[in-house]
Structure 1
Amino acid sequence: MLTVEQLHAIEVLQKECEQADTIQLKLNWDMLRQRDDLSMDFFHEENGQLIAYLALYGFGSTVEVCGMVKPSDRRNQHFSNLWQQALRVIEEKGFEKILLNASASSTSAKAWLVTQPCMYTFSEFQMCWAKQPLEESEDILIRQALPADSSFEIQLDVLSFNMSEEDARLHHGDIKNRTEESRFIIVAEGTDVGKIRVSRIDGEAYIYGFAILPEFQGKGYGGKALRNVVKQQHEAGYSVGLDVEVKNNHALRLYESIGFKTVQAQDYYLWN
């Protein structure tokens, strides 16, 4: 596990970078707080202060990369040096696909990316829910996922997120023991029709892995399930956020209809 001191240093550097650049970084705090493989984190410190940080996040055979450098210490090759260390770990672990993540409005990240053999692939909106009345749907049941639901959850990841079965199984193995995250099954007509995950950290509930079986889409079950989850989290005292791929117009319209607003965009680049 990362130490309390390391997590605090990462948080301090994140806030400094976000304030200086007027951006939001995607550091996947739910994963950082439960790290069991410290080879996925790379630090550059000077005089006891964190100057640069790079993190790897494994999702099956894909690894995502995010990092930051103290604004006053940029152009000193700190991030490039950490990236060379990270590339060796990526090769050792056998990841097949590398996605570099950068805030869409970060000029410093884009300046580094143009020097790298990578190509823009897609963008993601980070969205936050703006408080408004929501009516709970009683014909939708949201129940806690059980060990017996694993095959169903894996099947949904394959069908909904263009994942191979092997990657979906690896991903499920990674998330099922996260203590700050809850997995739910969506039930309609007495049948399991979908799933959703909720991570709660520092007063914010973040929604992940929301999916409905193809044969049950278009019946309003997804919207009703999402409203119920958002309402429950709000009433429990949490703000609510999620990510959605920009080109997923159907999901984007659904989230906006419930009250989600875009606050930031993240760009992803495929490493060649």
Structure 2
Amino acid sequence: MLTTEQLHAIEVLQKECEQADTIQLKLNWDMLRQRDDQSMDFFYEENGQLIAYLALYGFGSTVEVCGMVKPSKRRNHHFSTLWQQALQVIAEKGFRKIILNAPASSVSAKAWLATQHCTYTFSEFQMQWTQQALEASEDVVIRLALPTDAAFEIQLDVVAFNMSEEDARHHYEDVKDRTEEQRFIIVVDGTDVGKIRVSTIDGESYIYGFAILPEFQGKGYGGKALRNIVKQQHQAGYSIGLDVEAKNMHALRLYETIGFKTIQAQDYYLWD
């Protein structure tokens, strides 16, 4: 587990980098707070102060990479040093696909990526809900997921997110016991049609893994389910955010209709 001191140092450095560069870093705090493998975190310190940090996030056979360097200490190869350490761990753990993540407007990140053997693959919008009146839909029920829903959740990750069954099973094992996260099953007329996860940290709820079975898409169930979740989280006093792939225009329009607005974009690169 990461210590309280380490988490605080990461948060301080994140805020400094975001303020200096006018960006938002995607550090997956829901995962950082529940780390069970500290070999996935890489630190460079000077005089007790965190100068550079790199994190790996495993999703089955895929690993995502995100990191940052104190603005006044850049161009000293600190991040490249951490990256070489990370590559050794990636090889030891047998990850087969490496995805590098950077805020779309980060000049320093793009300059470093230009020196690496990687290829741009897609962008993701970070969206924030702006308050508006939402009507609850009683014909779509949201219930907490049970251990007996495991096969259904894994199936949805395979068909909705193009994951291999192996990766979907690994992913399920990673998320099923997270204490700051709730997993919900979407039910229509007694039939399970989809799922959604909600992570709540520091007064903000973040929506993940939202998926509807293909045979039930286009019937309005997804929109009704999302409205119910947003209304529930708003009434509990939380702000609400989510991510959506930029080319997923159907999902993007749905989120905008409900009141979500794009606040930042993240770019993803495949390590060759």
TM-score range, shorter chain: over 0.9
Report the Cα offset of residue 190 of structure 1.
1.3
* TM-score normalised by length of structure 2: 1.00
Alignment correspondent of 1:202: 202
CA distance in 2, matches of 1:270, 1:165: 21
SS of the residue aligned with 1:115?
coil
One-letter code aligned to 1:183: R
Task: Work out whether 1:147 is the aligned partner of 2:147.
Answer: yes
Distance (Å, rounded) in 2 between the aligned partners of 1:87 and 1:129: 37
Q: Structure 2 unaligned runs (5+)?
A: none
Give the secondary-structure state (helix, strand or coil) at the position aligned to 1:244: strand
State the AA in 2 paired with 1:209: G
Q: Determine the C-alpha separation between the residues in 1 that align with 2:249 and 2:96.
A: 28
In structure 2, distance between residues paired with 1:60 and 1:125? 23
**CA distance in structure 2 between the aligned counterparts of 1:72 and 1:131, rounded to whole angstroms:** 38
Q: Tell me the SS of whatever aligns to 1:218.
A: coil
Q: Which residue of 2 aligns with 1:52?
A: 52
Percent of pairs with identical residues: 83
Q: CA deviation at 1:159?
A: 0.3
SS of residue paired to 2:125: strand
Q: What is the rounded CA distance, in whole Å, between the counterparts of 2:190 and 2:216 in structure 1?
A: 12
* Cα distance, 1:189 vs structure 2: 1.6
CA distance in 2, matches of 1:75, 1:129: 37
2:213 aligns with 213
1:249 has 2:241 as partner: no
Where do 1:19-34 residues align within 5 Å? 19-34=19-34
Q: Render the CA deviation track for 1:123-163: whole Å, top value 9, x for unaligned.
A: 00000000000000011110000000000000000000010
Partner Cα distance (1:241, 1:117) in 2:
32
**Aligned twin of 1:8:** 8
Q: Cα distance, 1:253 vs. partner?
A: 0.6
Q: Give CA-to-partner distance per residue, 1:209-238, whole Å, 9 cap, x none.
A: 000000000110000000000000000000
Q: Does structure 1 residue 41 correspond to structure 2 residue 35?
A: no
Query: How far does the alpha carbon of each residue in 1:8-32 deviate from its partner, in whole angstroms, 9 at most, with x for none?
Result: 0000000000000000000000000
Q: What runs of 5+ residues in structure 1 fail to find an aligned partner?
A: none
Inter-partner Cα distance in structure 1 for 2:268 and 2:242: 17
The equivalent residue for 1:191 is: 191
Per-residue CA deviation, residues 112-131 of structure 1 (Å, 9 max, x unaligned), is 00000000000000000000
Match of 1:226 in 2: 226
Answering whether residue 108 of structure 2 is matched by residue 108 of structure 1, we say yes
CA distance in 2, matches of 1:13, 1:101: 17
Query: Which residue of 1 is the match for residue 88 of structure 2?
Result: 88
2:79 alignment partner in structure 1: 79
Tell me, what secondary structure is at the counterpart of 2:72? helix
What is the one-letter code of the residue matched to 1:36? D
Counterpart code for 2:42? F
d(CA) in 2 for partners of 1:261, 1:162:
26
Provide the residue aligned with 2:240 in structure 1.
240
The one-letter code sitting in structure 2 at the alignment partner of 1:15 is K
Specify the code of the residue in structure 1 equivalent to 2:271.
Answer: W
Q: In the alignment, residue 210 of structure 1 is paired with which amino acid?
A: F
Count of matched residue positions in the alignment of Structure 1 and Structure 2:
272
1:123 partnered with 2:123: yes
Task: Name 2:61's counterpart in structure 1.
Answer: 61
Query: What is the CA distance between 1:95 and its match in structure 2?
Result: 0.2
Distance in 2 between the 1:173 and 1:78 partners? Answer: 33
The equivalent residue for 1:161 is: 161
Q: How far apart in 2 are the matches of 1:156 and 1:125?
A: 22
Q: Distance in 2 between matches of 1:268 and 1:40?
A: 19
SS of aligned partner of 2:163: coil
Q: Give me the whole-angstrom Cα distance separating, in 2, the residues matched to 1:59 and 1:253.
A: 27
Runs of 4+ deviating beyond 6 Å? none
